[in-house]
Amino acid sequence: MDNVVLVVDDDRDIRDSVVELLVEHGYHAVGAANGREALAALDTAETLPSLILLDLMMPVMDGLEFRAEQLKNAAWARIPVVVISAYGNVDAQARELAVDHMRKPIGMRSLIDKVRRYCPGP
């Protein structure tokens, strides 16, 4: 399956809404509440995701820490990351961390367009 998206966000409502939206558009989406859960999901995945949607501000392990750990594994490092954050300077941070970014609150249409850009569609 090459249309798997890992959604990493500590806000359950946002995470669940994004996962549900992606599923409605034919993607297989998996949610994680923080960076540590996301690393565990990558470690146990039968099929690695084609894309990671990553929040930056999270408890336990934030997006910056997750990204540093992700890059230590060659297979995981190849997975493109789109940062989704409410940070005012998300543009600058995303240039160093990810292939793209979105500022919260996110529009569902623009989210699907962004996912289609980086993840083979169903």
This prediction's pTM: 0.93
**pLDDT for 1 beyond 60:** no
- Spatial CB neighbours of 43, under 8 Å, sequence gap ≥ 6: none
Q: Cβ(98)–Cβ(77) under 8 Å?
A: no
If one counts the domains in the chain, the total is 1
SS (H, E, C) 9-61: CCCHHHHHHHHHHHHHCCCEEEEECCHHHHHHHHHHCCCCCCEEEEECCCCCC
What pLDDT, on the 0 to 100 scale, is given for residue 91? 65
Nearest 10 degrees: Cα torsion 36, 41, 44, 47: -150
**Residue-wise pLDDT tens digits, 69-119:** 999 999 999 999 999 987 666 666 667 788 988 888 889 999 999 999 998
How high is the pLDDT of residue 122? 72
CA atoms within 13 A on the CB side of 56: 21
Assign residue 104 the CATH number of its domain: 3.40.50.2300
By residue range, what is the domain housing residue 88?
Answer: 4-118
Sheet with 28-32, strands from edge to edge, namely 28-32, 4-8, 51-55, 81-85, 100-103
Which residues on neighbouring strands pair with residue 82, listed in sequence order?
A: 53, 100
